[in-house]
Structure 1
């Protein structure tokens, strides 16, 4: 898709509201149809604007994708930080990781289109967009690595554990809950309690 330039700026309030609506509709379309199959005309139609008007707000579909991806990660990261930072400074590492699990699931499941689009289309996106998005993903992974390294250093994690593998496994497993979580089958808190029990205590008893 060729890049077009904006003819003139819109008022700030109109620009902001329309921009957010475009991102929301794009996230929904990317989630359900994929990045390649979604056209800018479809995004514009879903947003209630003319196809050409989308260029007042974004230069290309790739730019929209980048912001959808960043927003999906940032929503989850912000919620995780809030949950962890609400704990006392001397909270055990297990409590900090438990808070991070709850925050990740809350951000993930309460902003489904952005977070699910992030997961489902990442493998389809152009390399340039993936490279621009990589930093925010890396920053979030680094945050989890610090939490898990702290648990290891405090002796709260098995000494033979690989924190990188734990992080990849736990985050990977949580991310796919957007595809099967059903809020009608129990409360969010009960769901989180079960996920934390699996992570911390396992599922089998005995040898």
Structure 2
């Protein structure tokens, strides 16, 4: 037998991974629609087109499934925004980096609305004790914004009188608002990104 296992083993593994991913996608849709307290495994199973007991093959409980959905989504947001800044040239300034993070954030929100709603909008529904893994990931993401805003202010690109915590909350609130009004066909993502960049630059830098 090869080190990679038999073809049957590989096929079974691929099928199992595909089913797990389908369950996670279905759970995100149900969570976005019904919220934390309203999410039932029977609804997730129906959405994923699997038998409800099959979910327990992948997740020990409803809470574990929800935690995985939220943590996976939060990590995707963090990874996408990090990749956006990593792709910039070394001499990119703080406002350029803010542009890149904002674009990645709004593209995430618009292209993955269900998971974005779970991660960014349903926070008050999740249990506070113990906090879920996605909370720590989002805190890291918020620290990224805090650092970028601080760098911009230190370089004189943001007025010294601006409260950066307030600025961060307002910026993220504006980006998240696309969940409420945007839909495919309303206007292009590219146009929204351009408008977002313009308004953030004017709002933060006054230029």
Structures share fold, TM-score greater than 0.5: yes
**Cα–Cα, structure 1 residues 117 and 12, in superposed 2: closer, same or farther, change >3 Å?**
same
Shift of 1:129: 5.6
For the residues of structure 2 that align with 1:109 and 1:75, how far apart are their CA atoms? 14
Counterpart position of 2:3:
none
Contact 1:34–1:120 at 8 Å: present in 2 too?
no
Structure 2 alignment gaps of length 5 or more: 1-11
| Structure 1 partner of 2:35 | 34
Q: CA RMSD of the aligned region, Å?
A: 1.8
**Structure-2 separation of matches of 1:77 and 1:133:** 10
Q: Which structure 1 segments of 5+ residues have no match?
A: 1-10, 203-207
- Residue in 2 aligned with 1:5? none
CA distance in 2, matches of 1:184, 1:138: 33
2:118 match: 117
What number of residue pairs does the alignment pair up?
193
Counterpart of 1:171 in structure 2 is 172
TM-score by length of 2: 0.86
Partner residue of 1:73?
A: 74
2:20 corresponds to 1:16: no
Partner of 1:104: 105
Counterpart of 2:158 in structure 1 is: 157
CA distance in 2, matches of 1:53, 1:111: 25
Partner of 1:92: 93
CA contact (8 A) 2:67 2:134 kept: yes
Q: TM-score, normalization: structure 1?
A: 0.86
